[in-house]
Each structure stands twice: as structure tokens, then as C-alpha cells.
Structure 1
Amino acid sequence: MSRKPSKGALPPALQARYREAVALHQSGHPARASALYAEVLAVRPRHFDSLHLRGVAALQLGDTERGIQWLQAAIKIDGSVGPAHFNLGNALLAAGQLEPALACFDRAVALKPDYAQAWSNRGNALLDLRRVSAALDSYDRALACKADYADAWYNRGNALLDLGRPADALASFDRALALDARHSQAWCNRGKALADLQTLVPAAESYQRALELRPGYPFLFGTWLHTRMKVCDWSGLTADTARLQQGIAAGEAIAPPFPVLALLDSPALQRQAAARYAQARYPRAAAPDAFPASAPAAPIKVAYYSADFREHATTHLLLEALESHSDARVQCYGFGFGPAAEDAASARLAAAFHRFIDVNTMTDQQVAALSRELGVDIAVDLKGYTRDSRPGLFAAGCAPVQVSYLGYPGTMATDYHDYLIADTVVVPPAQRGHYSEQLVYLPGCYQANDSRRAPAVEPVSRAALGLPERAFVFCCFNNSYKILPETFACWMRLLQAVEGSVLWLLEDSKDASARLCEAALGHGVEPQRLVFAPRVGAAEHLARHRAADLFLDTWPCNAHTTASDALWAGLPLLTVMGEAFAGRVAASLLHALGLPELIVTTEHAYEQRARALATDPAALASLRERLAEQRLSSPLFDGRAMARNLETAYAAMHQRRLSGLPPAALAVEADGSYRLLDAQAVADE
């Protein structure tokens, strides 16, 4: 907060009181200073400096409402003082009143054009308003006034990250750190820029430096650990995982929810982590305006919200279901907040939606207001806590019914996500208490799929893929962060047991590949028996599955879309079913396909089954034949059937809302009906 020296004549005794207050304030005693400012104001209620500094003290003491009131009162007395407008702007910014805050900063720089702090904080207001280019200009104005302003360089880096310019952002963070090497936020966001540039080892080092400077940095420990997992850096993992678990159980702000899924197979801990994160970052916004009434006979307005309406795993799963929604039952909207795309998936989406709206430059509150204006009945969150998600949209209230589906395999742990769409395998009824949402159980599998996807027609030889022609090929195309040391050790034992076999892995990064080769050598396996597949287009990726013999899943976080890819391509997949949603997805897919023998519950059983299949060509061939038949007849790969199931679920949710009833757990039946799962809900209805 900026303060202005005393001005205006006061009687000597009162002037002494005022000076005593300022001295106390400057020495770090805002509460005692405020009491003395009050004494001055009791005699001279229009004393500008006392009002101004009492407002500053209130803000320092966490009393934002009174701080704003006193600053506004001071400005009414004298509106020519730039720091007063600056301080009021900061208070309004902290209170989420972005447009009024911006107006205050505009006034401050109009009064003092070289006011570097005001230019920088003006940029922060613009950044929160999602006017990113204008924010960048404001930070540049701040730096033109004060080139050695570390916070302005840091803020500038944040704007460049939002603009998708991580290399430029990195340069700005480095400038900030050259000026202030102890700027923990700059170290943290430097890590984000490096991660966006896929230089993950330096990213983890940057996060670690931030943690050293600020050991309790909110949620950074989990991000640091997840970044190391992406490059298969397992050093100290046992102790770090124990620290993660202890921190979550103690209610610490230790990790975002997503990294927890890959390390802790506990729905209870996953809920605790998500709840702590939601409370800190995405609390429910002030009560929105009343939602417009819906006509019971009209199509239900269902809006899907995502950053991934392009060539992306979630979109590939959901496309056919979106295209198959019945116009008589559902009017389908898309709210996109990801990068603009012109590809085959986005073209299909444009035709599938009744209306698609790009909300990239809109604030959460503006998107929610638009959703309410359009009369959206059901808002479907397709992102959860994954990359580029915006839970704040749902905290602001996009619709009277809000649903989490497909993008995030776990609970959102909020009081504004009403439902979670699942099935009885990913969330057994006995585990419902670990989910804040009411569960909606779909028949078969919760996961949508697109039967219109086809692998590339050109056959691919093993030689062209870098694989031995006659060896048994184990494969796993899961992301590297899902591979734990225990899983990898099991895979190495399989390679040793099955002569000449190889393990075909997705090449996430050169660093991960190098560490995995080093780990293989440590297990007595030649690194050459690990083959790495580069990332390729969707059709080519599906086609190359034909070159593998058996997909080995990871645990406690399974293959999800990756599992669907393998099974759709006709490749048998072996999974360990865990406790939490993220560790039960592959089992759900296999149950839906009628292949329960590919589901085990222990590492030992997994290893034994994999070895048996690798050494029994007839048994494996029989599995392949069954998979080939059942994938074409199973509802799992029928997006049209999924659309009908979703519509039944939406109709049930909507009807409860129209009847004035709270959300309730329900199960959609294969015949298109549904039933309530709780006796009280049945009685209410």
C-alpha cells in the first residue's frame, strides 16, 4: 500500500497525535495507528490524510470493506492524490471488483503518469478481466517508468504465459529474478513457462527453488512432484509421497487435485485434496441472479464447457454423442475457452452444437451471466481440475444444475457441482460418500466413445516402427507420470521372463526415456529392449496398436482414453483395478466389453496373468478374437447409445429441479428409464 505524507493544518496537539499514528503505522503497527487516526478524525472528520491512512491500515488488517469505505471518503474530500486512487484500486482488485479497480488505476496514472506501481497493478486488473494484450501494454508502461521493477517483470511474464508465449514469459521471469533472486512467485511461474516449453527438468528445478524460498508455497509441492514424475525422476519418491499424503490429511494446501490421482489410490484423500484446493482457489461466488424459468415441455438446454474443443482426447471420446443428441430432447451449446482451432474435430463440433461460443476473453462472471441469459438448464464441466480448466465458471453459477463429466476422474469436492456422471465400476455405490456430488450411474460404462473413428488404413510393419519382427511386444502408451517404480519393476521382470520380448512406450520426453533406460539397466535389462514411440496423429496412433501383443496398464492411475484407443484398435489390455475412480477406468471399459479376465486386483496377479498370456499364443489369440467381435457389438463404442443415456440422465436432473427437489443419486437403465437410489429422494419425488 502506498502512503502519502501528512498535509493540512491541525492544532499542535492533534498534529502530534497524527504524527504518532504515522510513526506507529510505518513501524508495522496498523491497529494501534488506526486507533490514533480515529482520534484525529473524531475532531477533524474531513482530515484527508487520517482517512486515507486509516483506510490503508484497515486493508492491512484484512478489513477490506471498511478500508474501501474510508478510502472512498478520503477521495471525496480530495480526489487529486494519486496514491489514494492507487490504494483504493488495490482494495477493489482484492475484492474482485475489477472494473472499478481499473478505473481507480486509470485515475492514478492520469494524475501521475510515471506511477510505475499503478501501471503494474492496472495490468493486474486487466489480466483478471482477461484483456491480456492490454495488460501487457500496461506492464510495459510500468517498466518504461521503472526498468528495475521486479514485480512488473514478473507480472509481464504472467501475461505472456496467458498469451501462449512461454519463451518470452521465461525471459521476463529471468529479468525479475536478476533484480530479486528471492522472488518466489517468479521462480514458480518460471517453472510454468519451462513446463510449457517441455523443458521439464529445469522446470522442476525452478519449482524447487520456489519451495526452498517459501516452504509452504500453496499447492506447489504437488506440482513439483508431478513435474518430476513426468520425467520419471523417482529419487526420494517414497518420502515425497508420504509427505504428500500427510499434508493432505492435515488439511495443508500442498497439491492441486490432479497430481494426487497418479500417486495416491485413496478416494478419501483425493476428496480432501480437491476440497482444500477448491476452497482456496475457487470458492462459490456471490449468489447469482435468479435463473430463468424453464418450460417443462421445451428441449433441455445443455451446455458443455471445455478448453478442448479441437483435436483432443476428450473431444475424440465425446464427438459422436454430441452429434447424436436428439433435438427434441436436448438443445446443445458449446462454451469454448481454449485455443482457436480449425481441424476435423472442431468442424464436427461446429455442426453438432446448436450454438458454439468462444468465451476465451470473458471473465468467469461474464461467462456465467451469458449462460444464465441464454437460459442454460444444465452446465456440463468437461475439464474438472485438468490443464486449462476454469472451475470458477461453475463457482459463478452457469446453470441451476451443474455436472462434472468425462474430463476429470474424481470428485470436484465443491458445493456447486451437483452431479458426477459415473458407473458402478468406477464408483462402487459403497464409495459414494467420498464424492461431494450426487452420483449418476450410466449403464455399462460412463465413458463416451466415437464409433466413427477409424485407424489409418495403411498397414504399418514392425520394422518401420522400430520393433523386432518376431518378438513379443508388451506396450504401454500412457503418459510417463503414470509410471511408478513398482510398475516399472514389474515390467522389467516380465521382460526377463519372456525371452526376446520388448516394452514399447510412448516417448513423452527425451529426459523420461533416458531415465527409463537407466532404470532398466538397474534391473538387469538391456535398455535396447525399451522401444519409444513418438507422438503422431490420432489415426496413425490407432493403427500402430496392431503391432503390439498386449497393453500393460499402469496403476494407481489407469489408462483412460488410452485404454479406449487400445481396445478400439483390437489390442487386449491388462489392468490392475484400484480403489479410486482414476484407478478403475480401464476395468470399467473391460467389464463393458465382457472381458473380466483382463482385470486383476494385485500386482502379483497382474504379473502372473501377463506372463501367462505372453507365453500362451492360443489364449492370447482367443482374447483378440473376442475383443474384435465384442468391440463392434458393445454399447461401449456406440456414441448414439451414450447420447440417449445422457439425455435420460439430463431429463431426470432437470425434472427434479423443476419440481423444486434437490439433486439426488440416480441410475439410468439400459431401457432408457431411470431410478432413484435413495429412499428419501424416492419419497420426495
Structure 2
Amino acid sequence: MTEGDVESLFSEAVAHHRAGRVQAAVAGYREVLGAVPAHGHATYNLGVAQRALGQVREAIALWTGLVEREPGRIEALLALSRAFRTLGDDPRSLDYAIRAADQEPRSADAHNLRSNALRSLGRNGEALEALDLALAADPGYALGHANRGHLLSALKRHAEAVQSYRAARTLDPSLPDLTGALLDQQMRGCDWRDFTDLQSEVREGVRRGEPVTIPFTFLAHNDDPADQMACVRTHMKVRFPELPAPAWRGETQVHDRIRVAYVSSDFRTHAVSQLLAGLLEAHDRSRFEIHGYALPPQMADDMRRRVAAACDRFTDVSAWSDEAIVAHMREAGVDIAVDLNGFTTFCRPGIFVRRCAPLQINYLGYPGAMGTLAADYILADSVVIPDAGSVHYDEKIIRLPFAYQPNDNRRQIATETPTRAEAGLPERGFVFCCFNASYKITPPVFDAWADLLASVPGSVLWLLGGDPVIEANLRAEAARRGLDSDRLVFAPKRALPEHLARHRLADLFLDTLPYNAHTTASDALWAGLPLVTCAGRSFAARVAASLLRAVGLPELATSSLEAYRDLALALARDPDRLGALRAKLAASLATAPLFDTDGTRRQVEAAFGIAWRRHLAGLEPRSFDVPPDA
């Protein structure tokens, strides 16, 4: 075959490839390589075609051979970095991105890929430096601006993140998840200038099946569980266009104890571990063998050490690929894998899509559906997922009898209460408070709060502070509603025992909607502070109602913002009624199911046991309720 014949074959294969006839292109590239095995362009293109067919490993083998022969082949280095990121192997993705950047220091793609891998490994400062190099090389690089927004978000530089996202939207508004990311960052900064328009744009995009947002940020401004499930399905389709082969293929091992693996990036000072640590310590070791798998970021704090000590086996997999983690779990004989991340920061759904265990359960970290690609079951209760809401979950639902949320009844509250003056509060006047994260505060909720302040002379609203931009934006919103902005008081961050102690200075906790207080609600109740909530339709919007039921105060859950405002106002005007509620809460703390750590442990173990026995009997997962006496 002459050189001209080879190039003619190559051109024909390229034409097939461009026309979308991928199988024909693969055949053509292979014919070229049969004649000229070292044909670089055919090797690279064959890898591209095979990856499009889901044959990622085959593509990697081709590109690896190519860069061994031609170390300067930058497109192959970039392709390898992308492919290993697809496999969840961020260390190797980083290696190839660095090699590409070394070959071409002005490659925006190389620096962007390097940044992506560094961000996934929790190395945000280095990741930002890499993106700055990408944008210096190409100021019009839309993806670089979007990823810079993601990084600035992780660094809690929300106003700068908004600028990056707006720049990306100007350059390429079709980038995945961009509109949702912009709205999320504006909400985190309490920047509501076009809240309604962006909220509508994201909602309609989700309903069209477009990847306009990620599932977690969608929860903060959408209370429709059907929309949320649609968002999950689109996100998973985009994230996993070709499903990897399952590591667990139906084989069953029977161990002397059920092997349960908890997988999380939050085994550190974090709300998830704060809730879960007591349950982990209480697990019945005669029936369960507990494994912990710690995802990035790496931490070495007291909570990490406590969680590690509570596990029979604890493995730091922060530098491992999804495949390596799954292989380890299969070798360890894990029976039930519990995903504590869902779609939150540093999540690794690829571990669960690869079927790391015979049974996979979505629990605690993410208040919503993940879909059956990642989970067989979701652990909930009858308030957060009532019977009528079941249709919006692809997972089967396990309902615990009281609250799905565990609590650690060893949580310490500092004995010393600060004075009002020390906390920045006025000496007199009713104190409404909300220590929820800023992104949970929406304009309709703030409207209700402003009405309360206007209706209760001398009252103040005590919020979590620490970010001057957020504080300034909220003060401006108060002023726009005719309030003296000094009636907002901001609490600096404190260690948990001191934070819990200062709850004693507040009179009533005001919840948010559609993303309720979760751990912060348990904090308030544990500290003896009554809470008023508005229960919405979705899981995230019903958590506080679940907790109130489990602590004996269901009457503090309302079903509309008007009823929420009216109830809070009635309590603020009736100190005897509010005092009776506070006394009722105080009397229930020792016996309430919400703070019965060992009781919750028994119920969770009963859930695991029922699900596992069904599996051993060869039965498909199904929804069930755990009995109260479990």
C-alpha cells in the first residue's frame, strides 16, 4: 500500500468520523494502522472514536502508546488527562495535565485540566493558580472563567465567583451547570438582584432536560420533587454518558457480620460527622463490621480521629481513583455501602455507579434522590418523604420510625453563656435568630422576617456572620424593606460548644425554605431553643418538621409562609406560650427520639438488616418501614 493509499484511507476515516459514523471511522483507522502501525494521527483519532463508544480503557492504551513514541503529542496528553478524570483517577489526570503544560506553557486547556484535578484533590490554592495561567493564555476561555467561578466558590469568595460566572455566560451561555452555579453564588452572597429571573431560567432548563445546574444547588431554590428528580437524571446522564462495568456482578458472600462501608468526604469537622459520630461509635460490633472510606480533602482534626477510631477499618482514599476504591471495597467484601455525600462537595458518585457493593444506600449527606444508578435505597422517614412523595424517587425508600437524622447526645454545650453585650445583642428586645447558611435565605423568607421585625418593636434578627459582603447585602435588603439595618446582628463563627451556648440568648429560631435547617435545627433544639418552620414539598424542605416531630413539638411546623410568619409573631407576642414551649422542649431532651443516639442506631441497624436479608433471599429492593420497637 502506497503512502497515497494510506492517506486516502485516513481521509475517508476522518470523513466518516465527522459525519458521526463512528464504527466506520474505527474500521478505517484500524486499516490505516494495519498498514502504518506508527501513524500518529490515526492512533489519536482511533482513541477519540473508541472513547465516544465508551471504550475508555482502549482509548487510554492507544494514547499511552502514542505519547511514549511521541512525547510532545499534546493533544494525546490532554486526552489522557480528560480520560483519567472520567475514571475518577485525579492523580493520573494531574500527571498528564502537567506534562501537557510543560510541552505547551500557553495551553489554556492544559492549565484548566491541571486545575480540575487539583480542585478534586482539595488543593484549591494551586488550582486557582493554574486557572490564572489558563486565562492569561486565553482571556476569552469561557470554560476557564466558569471553572474559576467553581474554585472561588470553594474558597468562599462569592462576589468574585459571580463575576467569573457572568464572564463565562457572556462568552458561552451554553456551558453545563453555568446558570445554576451563578444563581448559587449570588444566593451564597445574598445578592438577589435577578433572583426570580435566574430561578425561572434554571427551573425551565431542568424541565427541558438541559444540564443547567447540579442537583445540590437546585435544592436551595426549587421545592418541586419532580423537578429535582429530573435534574438528577439529566446530571447523571451527562456525568456518565457510558456506564462503567459493575464491579459487583451478583455474587453473594455470607460473613459472620454484615460489612457496612460508610463513604464520605466529610469525616472531619463537618455537620455530617457531627451528627453521625455517636451512631458509628454505638454500632453493634457483634452484628456489624464498620468500614470508613475517607474521600478528599485530607484532614487530621479531632473529628477525623474520632470517626476513624469508631470504625473497624478506616481507609484514607483521598488520592485514589474511583476504580481503585471500588476494587478495595470488593476485596474487603463490603456488603452494604452507604453514600454520605450524594451530590454535595467532593462527592464521588462514580464509586457507586461502578457498583461497589451488593446494596448501596443514600443517607444523610444529601437530602434528595440520587437515582438507581447510584443507590438501591434512600434512608428517610415518613415526614421527609411521605407516601405521596414516593413517586419522585427511583430508589426504594426505607423509613425510620421517628427521624431519619441521627444525633450525637454527647455533644457538649459550654457552661458559660455570653452576655447580650458580648454577643452584640441589645440588652432588651425579642431576639429572632437563624444560623442557617446564607444560601438558604431566599427573598420570600427574608420578606417574612422583615414583617416580623416591623411587627415586634425593639426586636432584632440574629444571623450567622463572618462575611462582610453578605452582611452588607442583607443590611441593604433590610433597608429596602424600610427597616433600620442595625436590627440585623451578625454572630461570628465560634467553636461548637460556645456556639451552642449562645443559643440561650435567642428567643425563637426562624427556619428557611425551601432548604430547611438540618444540623442547625438539631443544634437549636439541643440547646433548648424552640424553632418555627414551614414544611415544603421536597425532602430538604421537610427536615425541620421531621425533627420537631421527633422532639415532641410538631405544632411548630407550618405549611405556608403566611402561617409561619403568623405563628412566629404570635409566639413573640405571648411570652407565656413561648415559655411553655421552651419548658416542654427542655423536659423532652433526655427522652426525645431525636436525641436518642442508641435508639437511632438500633433503627438504622434494623434497616440494614432487613434490606440485607431481602438480598440474601434473592429478592429485589423494595420500600419498607422500620418498626418503632426495632
Same fold (TM over 0.5): yes
- TM (norm. structure 2) is 0.94
Secondary structure, counterpart of 2:184 in structure 1: helix
Which residue of the other structure, out of 251, 257, 263, is the alignment partner of 1:305?
A: 263
Q: Which residue of 2 aligns with 1:628?
A: 586
CA RMSD of aligned residues (A): 2.3
One of 171, 179, 198 as aligned partner of 2:156? 198
Q: Is the 8 A contact 2:176 2:211 kept in 1?
A: yes
Corresponding residue number in structure 2 for 1:652? 610
Residue 676 of structure 1 is matched in structure 2 by: none
**Aligned-pair distance for 1:243?**
2.0
Task: Indicate yes or no: 2:145 matched with 1:187.
Answer: yes
Aligned: 1:9 with 2:9: no
Give 2:382's aligned residue: 424
* 1:282/1:133 CA distance change after superposition, 3 Å: closer
For residue 294 of structure 1, what is the aligned residue in structure 2? Answer: 253
Deviates most, 152-161 or 318-327: 152-161
Q: Are 1:381 and 2:339 matched, yes or no?
A: yes
Per-residue CA distance 1:4-25 (angstroms, 9 max, x = gap): xxxx637xxxx5xxxxxxxxxx
| Superposed CA offset, 1:292-328 (max 9, x none) | 4232x73211111111111110111111111111122
Distance in structure 1 (CA, Å) of the matches to 2:352 and 2:81: 25
1:484 corresponds in structure 2 to 442
Give deviations 1:232-273, integer Å, cap 9, x for gaps. 111122222222222222222221111221111111111111
In 2, the alpha carbon distance for the partners of 1:444 and 1:289 equals 33
Rounded Cα–Cα distance in structure 2 between residues aligned with 1:84 and 1:176 = 29
Residues 161-176 of structure 1: pairs in structure 2 closer than 5 A: 161-176=119-134
Query: 2 CA distance for matches of 1:166 and 1:349?
Result: 25
Contact persistence 2:292–2:315 (CA under 8 A): yes
Instruction: Name the SS for the 1:439 alignment partner.
Output: strand
Aligned partner of 2:177 in structure 1 is 219
Match in the other structure for 1:609? 567
Aligned length: 629
Change (3 A) 1:95 1:173: farther
State percent identity of aligned pairs. 43
Cα shift at 1:139: 3.3
Cα distance in 1 for partners of 2:599, 2:27 equals 58
Moved more, 136-145 or 245-254: 136-145
Residue by residue, what CA displacement relative to the aligned partner does 1:425-454 show, whole Å, maximum 9, x if unpaired? 111112211111111111111111100111
1:132 and 1:391 map into 2 onto residues whose CA distance is 14
- Name the structure 1 match of 2:283: 325
Q: Where in structure 2 are the equivalents of 1:523-602 lying within 5 Å? A: 523-602=481-560
Tell me if structure 1 keeps the 8 A contact 2:248–2:355: no
Aligned equivalents of 1:146 and 1:562: distance in 2? 48
Contact 1:292 1:375 in 2 (8 A): no
2:519 and 2:528 map into 1 onto residues whose CA distance is 14
Looking at structure 1, the residues matched to 605 and 248 of structure 2 have their Cα atoms a distance apart, in angstroms, of 27
The amino acid that maps onto 2:529 is: L
Q: 1:126 to 1:246 in 2, by over 3 A?
A: closer
User: Which residue of structure 1 aligns with residue 402 of structure 2?
Assistant: 444
Partner of 1:245: 203
Q: Is the 8 A contact 1:318 1:639 kept in 2?
A: no
Structure 2 residue 593 is matched with structure 1 residue 640: no
Q: Alpha carbons of 1:390 and 1:321: their partners in 2 closer, same or farther (altered >3 Å)?
A: same
Three-state SS of the structure 1 residue aligned to 2:589 is: helix
Match of 1:472 among 423, 430, 440: 430
Change (3 A) 1:136 1:671: closer
From the superposition, tell whether residues 426 and 140 of structure 1 become closer, same or farther in structure 2 (CA, over 3 Å): closer
**Amino acid of the structure 1 residue aligned with 2:249:** A
- Residue type at the aligned position of 1:294: Q
> SS at the partner of 2:590?
helix
The amino acid of 2:2's aligned partner reads A
Distance 1:165 1:340 in 2: 10
- Aligned partners of 1:357 and 1:65: how far apart in 2? 42
For 2:190 and 2:597, the matched residues in 1 are separated by 36
Q: 1:679 corresponds to which residue? A: none
Distance change (3 Å), C-alpha of 1:639 and 1:252: same
Match of residue 214 from structure 2:
256
Kept in 2: contact 1:480–1:508 (CA 8 A): no
Post-superposition Cα deviations, 1:403-427, rounded to whole Å, max 9, x if no partner, equal: 1111111111334411111111111
Report the more deviating stretch, 120-129 or 427-436: 120-129
SS at match of 1:633: coil
Report the CA distance between 1:126 and its aligned residue.
4.7
Instruction: Provide the C-alpha distance between the structure 1 equivalents of 2:601 and 2:497, rounded to a whole number of angstroms.
Output: 24
Deviations 1:475-529 (A, max 9, x none): 0001111111111111112112212111110126321111100011111111111
Q: Is the contact made by 2:402 and 2:594 (CA closer than 8 Å) also made in structure 1?
A: yes
Name whichever of 358-367 and 527-536 sits farther off. Answer: 358-367
| Counterpart in the other structure of 1:497 | 455
**Is 1:405 matched with 2:363?**
yes
Q: 1:349 aligned to 2:342?
A: no
Asked which structure has the greater CA Rg, the reply is: 1
- Aligned 1:88-99 pairs, distance under 5 A: 88-92=46-50
Distance in 2 between the 1:106 and 1:416 partners? Answer: 30
**How many angstroms does 1:229 deviate by?**
0.6
Please give the alpha-carbon distance, in whole angstroms, between the structure 1 residues aligned to 2:121 and 2:329.
25
Supply the distance in 1 between the matched residues of 2:97 and 2:208 (Cα, whole angstroms): 39
Q: d(CA) in 2 for partners of 1:250 and 1:123?
A: 31
Give the direction of change, closer, same or farther, for the CA distance of 1:622–1:245 in structure 2 (3 Å limit): same
CA distance in 1, matches of 2:317, 2:12: 40
SS in 1 for 2:565: helix
Distance 1:590 1:597 in 2: 8
Aligned partners of 1:613 and 1:414: how far apart in 2?
A: 44
The residue type equivalent to 1:216 in the other structure is S
| Partner-residue secondary structure (3-state), 1:380 | strand
Distance in 2 of aligned mates of 1:436 and 1:392? 18
5+ residue gaps in structure 1?
1-7, 16-46, 673-685
The structure 2 residue matched to 1:285, chosen from 233, 244, 248, is: 244
Q: Secondary structure at the match of 1:632?
A: coil
Shift of the alpha carbon at 1:103?
Answer: 4.3
Amino acid of the residue matched to residue 387 of structure 1? T
Could you tell me how far apart the structure 1 residues matched to 2:396 and 2:532 are? 30
Deviations 1:577-626 (A, max 9, x none): 11111111000110111112211112222112212211222222211111
Q: 1:182-210 deviations in whole A, cap 9, x for unaligned? A: 32211111111221222211212211222
Q: CA deviation at 1:280?
A: 1.6
Instruction: Give the structure 2 partner of residue 142 of structure 1.
Output: 100
Distance 2:78 2:205 in 1: 35
Letter in 2 for 1:313: A
